[in-house]
Structure 1
């Protein structure tokens, strides 16, 4: 039996929309990373860029468990003195997109392909998104937060 290696003509990039309302951050990040890498396709290969575009809506309504509201998200600009410290509670109000993007970035492999795959992630704090002409498929995450019930 021969090993299947996808050719560039075999690779397609579908669009999916994921609703983050009352979904735990870690569960959301793992499912989104799975879609970004293309592991839901039978033509998946780790070295090939077979990932999908993923739109995450309602990022401001994501569920954080435990003491994550007190947790700090660090980022560095690369310049001297460029270290930023932002609490998740502040980010959830101001820029919830950064929380989801950082969580998904941690789930992706640490290589050159991860940057290409992360560019296909589109996160929006509200319900609306400008990608309706692409006709994204709805991807349902069944398990929601226990606190939301």
Structure 2
């Protein structure tokens, strides 16, 4: 354990244990960067390195939203002419399960002289096992739940009321309604409303 943190002053610091299983890479990385900077402490100062040591387990089971596993690319240059290389996130994760999360956290740290020192306090392990299990200062840390938008079922319109835009109303909520309710909405929205009679000129 001492070799893993060689050269790092851990006096007065906590050891945060984070479970990355089924966590979104970007959202998790933004929270880890706050801990590494010490922004969650009342004594935070941007010119001092007071962030805690972060131990991440189950990095093999992180997730991406959308199609980022295939579309997100990691690029680097070999230093030779025409040496620009790239690799999709899926292959990068298969080669090194800790690389994707490490790159995300490193990119969210401030670009200054403290960046490397803060990044050294991040220890990522692909599975459940890690050498800090018996550390006396190890504190479990859980990420705050993400507020996801929940689509509630459509409420019934009171009698005599109709949507202003029946086309948009049906297009947005048709997947929420039962077939019988949807047929009733279509019937009401397609009803022909008689036009107002023109005012007679005097």
TM-score normalised by length of structure 2: 0.61
Q: CA deviation at 1:84?
A: 3.7
Counterpart in 2 of 1:111? 112
Counterpart in 2 of 1:55? 55
Counterpart in 2 of 1:143? 145
Alignment partners' CA distance in 2, 1:76 and 1:35: 31
Contact 1:23 1:143 in 2 (8 A): no
Q: CA deviation at 1:36?
A: 0.5
Counterpart in 1 of 2:34? 34
Counterpart in 1 of 2:160? none
TM-score normalised by length of structure 1: 0.82
Alignment of 1:63-82 (within 5 A): 63-70=63-70, 71-76=72-77, 79-80=79-80
Counterpart in 2 of 1:5? none
Q: CA deviation at 1:42?
A: 1.1
When the two chains are superposed, the root-mean-square deviation of aligned CA atoms in Å is 2.0
Alignment partners' CA distance in 2, 1:38 and 1:83: 36
Query: In structure 1, the residue corresponding to 2:126 is in which secondary structure?
Result: coil
Query: In structure 2, the residue corresponding to 1:21 is in which secondary structure?
Result: coil
Alignment partners' CA distance in 2, 1:75 and 1:16: 31
Contact 1:14 1:52 in 2 (8 A): yes
Q: Any gaps of 5 or more consecutive residues in structure 2?
A: 1-10, 149-202
Contact 1:36 1:120 in 2 (8 A): yes
Alignment partners' CA distance in 2, 1:96 and 1:122: 13
Whether 2:87 is the aligned partner of 1:86: answer: yes
C-alpha distance 19-76 of structure 1, shift in aligned 2 (>3 A)? farther
Alignment partners' CA distance in 2, 1:53 and 1:75: 28
C-alpha distance 76-118 of structure 1, shift in aligned 2 (>3 A)? farther
Alignment partners' CA distance in 2, 1:26 and 1:123: 15
Could you list the per-position Cα deviations for residues 62-107 of structure 1 after superposition, in whole angstroms to 9, with x for gaps in the alignment? 0110121111112345x33664422111122221211001100111
Alignment partners' CA distance in 2, 1:13 and 1:76: 37
**Which of 129-138 and 52-61 deviates more?**
129-138
Counterpart in 1 of 2:12? 12
Whether 2:126 is the aligned partner of 1:125: answer: yes
Q: How many residues align?
A: 135
